[in-house]
């Protein structure tokens, strides 16, 4: 096995180990929550016999270790259990919700990633001049404001006052692509503003760091324009940290949309999770937590692999 393959195998093994540890935390965290699941399902008027029968039916009388491995084994085979409140298969519900969340995250990424890279390059091109200062000020302001506040402000002015986009982002299977895009316009705008600042500033910092290199000075002495230097020399050599920050923000777009989905009543995984947290539906909470963790760890793993493949110093470690 070559050094690159060994390094990649180590990263993948570390990601799987981390996911296993996170699954333990998710299961343990849901088990130590105060209250009784059977009591919350049957209500306060339930008899002790009914509570005992339901606990036995749900397997709550089994040892915690046995219940954990049963749950983990089912998750590995695609069986995420049954929702306690509705009796529906969790996996079937989650795939539909996950598709909606990925649809929202895809369009937010399609807008924010190219725009962030373009603004980062533009800030470097006009460094310490008014375009750079204006871009930095706007992005700093957007990253300093909580996303739910941005969502409510856009909902009020754009959705209610101007009527340009719906305040409630509801989509369903029969809708056309144009109707779906119109419905998710506001949550996409909020997510773009939230992740744009971080990606733009990291792009700017990475390129400025490369601009201090000796070969950039050589290119300047050759008479190349600043735009050519950035496009041909600085940006390709700064791609590794840029890919890292892009992947981290893509992970946020998938995992961190819970607040946005609740604000705009969007039928995604975040809304599904919040609805069942309030009902104390433990299997749904565990399944959503495990999927969110897998997506976040997976995208970080992809960022590590891309960084290794794009950086010669990482491909050939000493």
**Could you tell me the two tokens for 304?**
């590590």
Where do we find the tokens 């009591």?
Answer: 39
CATH class of 90-279: mainly alpha
Of 275, 270, 251, 153, the residue nearest 198 (C-alpha): 251
The reported pLDDT for the residue numbered 57 is: 66
Q: 151 with 190: CB under 8 angstroms? A: yes
Q: What is the pLDDT of residues 160-188, one digit of tens each?
A: 888 888 888 888 877 888 888 888 889 99
Q: Residue 246 has what pLDDT?
A: 79
For the beta carbon of residue 140, count every other beta carbon within 10 angstroms: 11
pLDDT by residue (tens digit) across 126-141? 887 888 888 888 888 8
Query: Can you list the residues of the chain whose pLDDT is less than 50?
Result: none
Q: Distance (Å, rounded) from C-alpha 52 to C-alpha 41?
A: 13
**pTM, whole model, 2 decimals?**
0.79
**Residue 54: what pLDDT?**
66
Tokens of 245: 């920050």
Domain positions in the chain are 90-279
- Are 30 and 284 contacting, i.e. CB atoms less than 8 angstroms apart? no
């Amino acid at each position: 096995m070559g050094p690159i393959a060994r390094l990649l195998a180590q990263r993948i093994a570390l990601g799987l180990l981390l996911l296993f540890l996170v699954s333990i935390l998710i299961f343990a965290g849901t088990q130590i929550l105060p209250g009784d699941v059977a009591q919350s399902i049957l209500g306060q008027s339930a008899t002790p016999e009914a509570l005992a029968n339901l606990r036995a039916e749900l397997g709550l009388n089994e040892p915690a270790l046995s219940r954990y491995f049963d749950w983990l084994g089912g998750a590995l085979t695609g069986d995420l259990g049954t929702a306690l409140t509705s009796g529906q298969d969790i996996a079937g519900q989650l795939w539909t919700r996950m598709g909606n969340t990925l649809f929202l995250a895809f369009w937010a990424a399609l807008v924010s990633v190219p725009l962030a890279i373009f603004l980062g390059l533009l800030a470097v091109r006009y460094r310490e001049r008014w375009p750079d200062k204006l871009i930095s000020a706007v992005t700093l302001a957007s990253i300093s404001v909580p996303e739910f506040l941005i969502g409510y402000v856009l909902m009020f002015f754009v959705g209610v006052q101007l009527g340009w986009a719906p305040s409630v982002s509801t989509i369903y299977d029969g809708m056309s692509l144009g109707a779906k895009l119109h419905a998710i316009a506001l949550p996409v705008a909020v997510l773009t503003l939230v992740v744009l600042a971080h990606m733009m500033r990291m792009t700017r910092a990475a390129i400025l760091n490369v601009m201090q290199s000796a070969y950039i000075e050589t290119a300047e002495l050759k008479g190349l324009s600043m735009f050519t230097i950035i496009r041909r020399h600085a940006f390709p050599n700064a791609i590794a940290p840029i890919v890292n920050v892009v992947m981290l923000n893509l992970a946020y777009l998938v995992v961190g949309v819970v607040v946005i989905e609740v604000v705009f009543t969007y039928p995604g995984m975040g809304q599904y999770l919040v609805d069942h947290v309030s009902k104390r539906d433990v299997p749904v909470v565990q399944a959503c937590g495990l999927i969110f963790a897998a997506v976040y760890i997976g995208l970080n793993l992809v960022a590590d692999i891309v960084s290794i493949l794009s950086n010669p110093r990482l491909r050939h470690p000493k």
